[in-house]
């Protein structure tokens, strides 16, 4: 992981399995990260994010995905992560990342810049809970009529999502560009 992330402290802990093809290009005068090529797959089981903000967002995702947005006892949840990647010129291209927490399965593809620490990933989130169950108060009641539009193929909710921003301040949200692709993602999961 230290090859792929420039950070003094690890941001994630867990049991890692890595299978990759490593190539170091013989280019004189270039730093290792400019010459290093990786092509492989990984899985991280029973993982947790270190540092408050990311783990707090993961806990909140799990609460909402399970339909219990106010249940503060759902905290410090473990997640599982697996994917396929290529590292070239200091950027990692993820062909597929599958991220799981209790109540949610998320599939993403996109890029991460090692030097810039910028994230640009897009995909779909499948939640156990219906849209209305992810909220509290009046929003829960107001969203009930739209539940059937987002419930697909046994999922309580299927949403197009984007993860952007930086490693230290990731932004999670709806991917408005992929909104129309929800039906195709639903068909692909069958």
Task: Evaluate if residue 31 carries a pLDDT over 90.
Answer: no
User: How many H-runs (helices) and E-runs (strands) does the chain carry?
Assistant: 5, 8
Predicted local confidence at residue 158, as pLDDT: 94
Q: What is the mean pLDDT of residues 121-129?
A: 95
- Report pTM: 0.77
Over the chain, what is the mean pLDDT?
86
Tokens read off for 142: 């107001």
Task: Evaluate if residue 124 carries a pLDDT over 90.
Answer: yes
Q: What is the mean pLDDT of residues 32-40?
A: 85
Predicted local confidence at residue 161, as pLDDT: 93
138 CA to centre of own chain: 29
Enumerate residues 6+ apart whose C-beta is below 8 A from 154: none
How do the domains of the chain map onto residue ranges? Answer: 12-188
Cβ atoms 98, 106 nearer than 8 A = yes
Cβ atoms 167, 5 nearer than 8 A = yes
pLDDT band at 13 (very low <50, low <70, confident <90, very high): confident
């Amino acid at each position: 992981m230290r090859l792929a992330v420039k950070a003094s402290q690890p941001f994630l802990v867990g049991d890692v399995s890595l299978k990759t093809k490593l190539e170091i290009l013989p280019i004189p005068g270039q730093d290792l990260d400019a010459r290093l090529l990786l092509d492989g797959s990984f899985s991280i089981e029973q993982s947790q994010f270190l540092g408050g903000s990311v783990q707090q967002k993961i806990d909140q995702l799990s609460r909402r995905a399970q339909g219990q947005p106010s249940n503060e006892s759902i905290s410090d949840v473990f997640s599982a992560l697996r994917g396929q990647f290529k590292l070239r010129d200091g950027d990692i291209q993820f062909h597929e990342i599958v991220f799981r927490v209790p109540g949610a399965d998320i599939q993403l593809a996109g890029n991460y810049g090692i030097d810039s620490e910028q994230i640009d990933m897009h995909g779909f989130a499948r939640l156990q809970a219906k849209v209305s169950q992810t909220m509290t108060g009046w929003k829960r009641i107001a969203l009930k009529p739209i539940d059937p539009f987002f419930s697909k193929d046994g999922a309580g909710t299927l949403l197009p999502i984007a993860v952007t921003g930086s490693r230290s301040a990731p932004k999670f949200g709806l991917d408005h560009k992929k909104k129309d692709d929800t039906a195709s993602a639903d068909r692909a999961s069958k």
